[in-house]
Each structure stands twice: as structure tokens, then as C-alpha cells.
Amino acid sequence: MHVHILGICGTFMGSLALLAREAGHHVSGSDRGVYPPMSDLLATQGIAVEADDDPGQLEPAPDCVIIGNVLSRGHPLVESVLDRRIAYTSGPQWLADHLLRGRWVLAISGTHGKTTTAGILAWLLENAGLEPGFLIGGVPGNFDVSARLGGGPFFVVEADEYDSAFFDKRSKFVHFRPQTLVINNLEFDHADIFPDLAAIQRQFHHLVRTVPPSGRIIAPVQHPGVRPVLDMGCWSELEALDDPAGWHLQAADGGYAVAQGEVLHAPMRWSLHGRHNASNALAALLAARHAGVPLDQGLKSLAGFRGLRRRQELRGEVNGIQVLDDFAHHPTAIRATLEALKPARPGRLLAVLEPRSNTMRLGTQRRAIPTAMAAADAAFLFQPPGIDWSVSELLDAMPMPTAWATELDTLVMHIVDAARPGDTIVVMSNGSFGGIHNKLLDALAAYHQLPVEHCGS
């Protein structure tokens, strides 16, 4: 089958392209944003990508066109597909119909921690010899790719609540039909498509409705965002997280141990910091347990987990100043990242934020930013183009010294002027942030007249 993917360089669609190629399909695609690393990854797999909207790329007509959710009516390629009556579908629907049917799907959902939890789970299953397939919104450190078919029945998928396509406004995850479902947490997000939290909760309940009676839902049953979803109805086995009577974390040896009621299991021995990461690990351990991996074995495997790219990832160091990259962009995630890093770092913590997500750009959560960044010793805010509000509005409420800029090079110089040996600079954005990590490392190297020790991506 010849599959042509519109919006192929997105995280989900690019990973789907890799899976389709691995499954033996002829894959091509197009995108307006063709740039590394996804463009390089697709090229290495022999997947041709067009960087324009010319309908000529649909000649001869492919067997199926997969349309990404960033495209809508009025787009030249969408109009051509409709006018010529070429078969089309959404990415989540194609994944479900062609690759997930008959497999034991383990879906990881929630506002925060999906990528990390899915990455941990894929590793726990892999280390147990189960050869899982997976599609994850990042590259786990234990693997070289964000997606693969795998060799066994198990398939781990990061289950996103964003809509599927312009013709299917249901959340992506309703297509996946999981046997094991993790709901990590639930807060308001995606203000561009959801009017309120209740609308998101309704989509999550659609997901709950797809889990069979023999399936298992792993969720924090007392979480204020999750509880209303479960109260709408639950027909599957429910395993409670963050519940004193059920599964929960207990402080141990400067970290956390897994407890079930009053039964204390072995502590977590691994490299990640923070309670939020420990909560992600607990959810993954229980999901793996449902797939047949004993808890004790999972805890041993956890020690070998190498983290994920863009999750507190070290990008380089100059004169004792480390630059980290983190995907945090929601106030809750920003706060969790900084509070986890603060006690784990010897020097000051400098936080750099690009409010890039659609919700952030609309300004829906801007008043929560000062509190979310409170653990930092200094903050640096970038004003991206096209944002509907000014980050300068936050300055009076910021509890630490704060600088802001509309030009990336100006922001870099503010950071360089403030940084000193022993500091940790954590850059937070859900995008590439204009390549600020390398710009910052190069500027630090020039300022201190020392070479850069590059790491990571």
C-alpha cells in the first residue's frame, strides 16, 4: 500500500510513518515544517518528504492519504484529496486499523508525564524480554527510535487527548482500544480546542468506555481531575494510584519506595529526580505488572532506565555551568521540573521559559507562571512572535530576579551575564526554541574563553 502522510514531520505522524515503513508499506509525505531531527530521521528510512503544498505530489494517487490534525479545509492538499475522492483517514485511525488490531495495547494518558511513563513502560517490557512495539512522543534513552512494531503482542502508545483530524474531532486516544489504560492525572490544557476541563473529562470518559471488562485502568482515584471521569462509569478492573489503601509512594533513602497498603516494596533505584517522575515510574510498573512483569523484576529493570531526550536532558557544559533541556510547558510540569532539580543541583537554578504551547500562547495559564517558577533562583522569559499577551506582565509577580526579551540573542546575553560556575540552566519549551541550547553554550564558551562539552541532541 502507498501511504501519503500530510503533516508528516509532526511527532506523532513522523513516528507513524516509521511504523508504516517498517510494516512494509510505501510511505511518502509532505509538511510545511520540514526540519531536523524528524526530517533527518525520515530521510534515513528512505521516506520522501515534500516541503510544499503542491497537489502534484498526489500524482499518481496514493492508496490512502493520512491527514494530520494541523491541516484543515482550505489547505490545497486537503481540497485536492476531497475533490478527487482519494481515500483518506486520520493518523490515529490508521494506526488502530492497520497496526494495533489484535494486539495488547497499553495506553498512557493524562495531562503530564505521558512520554516519560510510556518510555519507562516500554523499557520494563523490553528488559523482561517481551519485545514490545511502541509509539512515544519522544525518544527513550534505551532505544534509538520513538516508534517500532516490536515482536510480541504488547504495544505501548502515548495516548494524547488532542483531536484526531479536521473531520474527526474526537481525541486521538479513543481509537486505540487499550487492554491496559494508565491515566496519570488530569488538568485543563489545550485551550485552543477545549473550552473547559469538563470537555476534556468527557473525552477521557469516552476512552474509559473503550476498555474491556477484562482490561485494567490504573489511575489516581482521588485526583480532583480524574475522579469525575471515573464517576461517570467504569466497567473495567480499577487499580488505585496515590491511595493509602492501594498503590502509593513512600519516602525512603532520600527517594521513594513502592507501597501497597501497608506492604512496603523495594525502593526505586534510578537516575531520575522528583516525585512526579517517581509517580510516572509507579504507573509504568503497575502497567508492566498487568502485562506479566512481576513488580520486583520491574523495580530491578528501573535502574537501567536512561531517561528521555528533552526531559532534564544535559545538552552541554561550560566552566561548570550546565545547560539542560526540558519539555515542560504547562505550569504544573514547570513547577514539578524545577522543584525536582533544585535539591539535586549544587548551585543556583536558572530557569528559561518559552510560552509556546497553544494554551500558553492564548495566555490562559499565564497567571500561574510566577508560582510555577518559584523554585528557580533567576528566571528568563522569551516573548515568541504571535503570542496574544506580553510576558512583561508577569515581572511584578515573579518572586525571583527576572529578565525578558523579544529577541533570542538578547535573551541569551541576559542569561550569559547572569550565569556563574556551578549554576544549572534549564531551558523549558515544547519546541526547538530557536536552537537556544547551542546558542547559549556557544555564548558561554566565548564569554569564559573555554571550550564547550556538548552532550545530548
For residue 308, is it within any domain? Answer: no
Better-scored residue on pLDDT, 9 or 91: 91
pLDDT at 36: 62
pLDDT digit string, tens, across residues 140-176: 778 878 899 999 999 999 999 999 999 999 999 999 9
Provide the CA 320 distance to its chain's centre, in angstroms: 29
Same domain, 280 and 376: no
Do 15 and 147 contact (CB within 8 A), yes or no? yes
Domain stops at, among 91, 110, 128: 91
Phi, psi (degrees; rounded to nearest 5) at 305: -75, 130
Domain stops at, among 56, 91, 126: 91
- What single-letter amino acid sits at 89? T
Provide the CA 72 distance to its chain's centre, in angstroms: 24
Same domain, 220 and 252: yes
405 three-class SS: strand
pLDDT digit string, tens, across residues 360-399: 666 677 888 888 888 889 999 988 887 888 888 888 888 8
Question: H or E stretch including 6?
Answer: strand 2-6
What is the rounded average pLDDT of the residues 198-225? Answer: 95
Do 318 and 450 contact (CB within 8 A), yes or no? yes
Q: Which residues of 294-320 are buried (b: 16+ CB within 10 A; e: fewer)?
A: ebebbbebbeebebbbbbbbebbbbbe
**What CA–CA distances, in Å, run from 448 to 366, 379, 403, 426, 427?**
35, 21, 21, 19, 20
What is the rounded average pLDDT of the residues 12-28? Answer: 94
Nearest to 197 by CA among 359, 366, 333: 359
Same domain, 140 and 283: yes
Between CA 218 and CA 184 the distance in angstroms is 8
Between CA 5 and CA 21 the distance in angstroms is 12
For residue 96, is it within any domain? Answer: no
Better-scored residue on pLDDT, 315 or 204: 204
Domain stops at, among 41, 72, 91: 91
Q: Of all residues in the chain, what percent carry a pLDDT higher than 90?
A: 48
pLDDT at 371: 86
Same domain, 343 and 223: no
Residues 6+ apart with CB under 8 A from 2: 25, 26, 27, 28, 62, 63, 64
At 205, is the pLDDT very low, low, confident or very high (cuts 50, 70, 90)?
Answer: very high
For residue 97, is it within any domain? Answer: no
Q: The domain spanning residue 398 has which CATH number?
A: 3.90.190.20
What is the rounded average pLDDT of the residues 406-422? Answer: 90
Same domain, 183 and 125: yes
What is the rounded average pLDDT of the residues 129-136? Answer: 95
pLDDT at 115: 87
Looking at every residue in the chain, the average pLDDT score rounds to: 88
At 200, is the pLDDT very low, low, confident or very high (cuts 50, 70, 90)?
Answer: very high
Report residue 113 as a C-alpha cell.
Answer: 508525564
Burial of 432 (0-12, 13-18, 19+ CB in 10 A): middle
Q: Within a 13 Å sphere around the CA of 256, how many CA atoms are in the beta-carbon half?
A: 23
218 three-class SS: strand
For residue 440, is it within any domain? Answer: yes
Q: Of all residues in the chain, what percent carry a pLDDT higher than 70?
A: 94
pLDDT at 41: 76
Query: Structural domain of residue 264, as residue ranges?
Result: 102-302
Between CA 274 and CA 57 the distance in angstroms is 48
For residue 231, is it within any domain? Answer: yes
Q: Which residues of 37-56 are buried (b: 16+ CB within 10 A; e: fewer)?
A: ebbebbeeeebebbeebeee
For residue 243, is it within any domain? Answer: yes
What is the rounded average pLDDT of the residues 181-195? Answer: 84
Strand partners, 398: none
pLDDT at 33: 73
pLDDT digit string, tens, across residues 65-95: 999 999 999 999 999 999 999 999 999 999 9
Better-scored residue on pLDDT, 456 or 238: 238
For residue 349, is it within any domain? Answer: yes
| Angle between helices 295-302 and 114-127 in degrees, nearest 10 | 110
Q: The domain spanning residue 251 has which CATH number?
A: 3.40.1190.10
Do 383 and 347 contact (CB within 8 A), yes or no? no
How do strand 321-326 and strand 424-428 relate by DSSP bridges?
parallel
Query: Based on the structure, what is the number of domains in the chain?
Result: 3
pLDDT at 109: 96
Question: H or E stretch including 316?
Answer: strand 313-318
pLDDT digit string, tens, across residues 283-335: 999 999 999 999 999 999 998 887 666 667 778 888 888 888 887 667 878 88
Provide the CA 74 distance to its chain's centre, in angstroms: 29
